[in-house]
Structure 1
């Protein structure tokens, strides 16, 4: 393995920002483009803002309730965050719709669910290995052409998958929008559910 002596980088410079991941076998060029650095920076920026906001919100909810000891004890381990902050404060949101009808938080409950769907879909695009989507599209096109009824409709052009850079942009947009919708609904519903 001669990563330093490989002609990989001089070849890749002609591809601009769109060069694919070749893995450690060809010099380890995964995630080294400027766009990859941008996507990772935004991804971790949103995660950092999220954890700071989680901390601030949980601390103030316990202050307003006069239950600071819960925050002091539970915020020192991950299960405390999951159980005593996220799950406990999601109960009003989860009950926006229930078997007995709906309440004033039902709009936020739907936004919470929709935000999770958009957020989770983002990972499908962010994890975009080389050829993965194109292989899936070609498999579907092959199956389509061999199905008797579906074969009545022919494509003039062969469908092509998004490039890795395009897929990561779409994934980052989904992740960002889903994150904002999910957490905004959680903040509004958990705060107004306790004090509204």
Structure 2
């Protein structure tokens, strides 16, 4: 009988402790953990509470900049001035990654392209072309303008096709890289950098 009483007593203690732990996990502990050592050596109930407290704390702190997230290529597949490829917009920029070129052109004036005086007939343009390392200047063509309106690529998003990646740094500011080089396109500068 003594063994049965001990088992019943242990079960009752376990039930009380389990019940207490459940009540505590429903409410976040407002005090931060003392150290990572304390957090690791504490029980699972305390760890759950600490995690909840840490989660609520992290939303108040400054969040780091997200890395560029890769987008689904099929949403950007189109035909445009540079042929079949992947076209997107960002602010006044019209950009694309095609088999023949990767780059952007602008529907507005760009400060370091003073000769590109009219975005409709002499648009600022910069590209990495597989046969020529770089073309920058003005264009009279809709090289990176898709036949149907291209989808917008948002800040922090990127497209990668083969060795080419274009990333929207901020609305209206794009960088593209390939094995041949890198371009920067925004309202201040259209520029090519050799790799």
Q: TM-score, normalised by structure 1?
A: 0.24
Is the radius of gyration larger for structure 1 or structure 2?
2
Larger RCO: Structure 1 or Structure 2 (Cα < 8 Å, ≥ 6 residues apart)? 1
Greater fraction strand? 2
Q: TM-score, normalised by structure 2?
A: 0.25
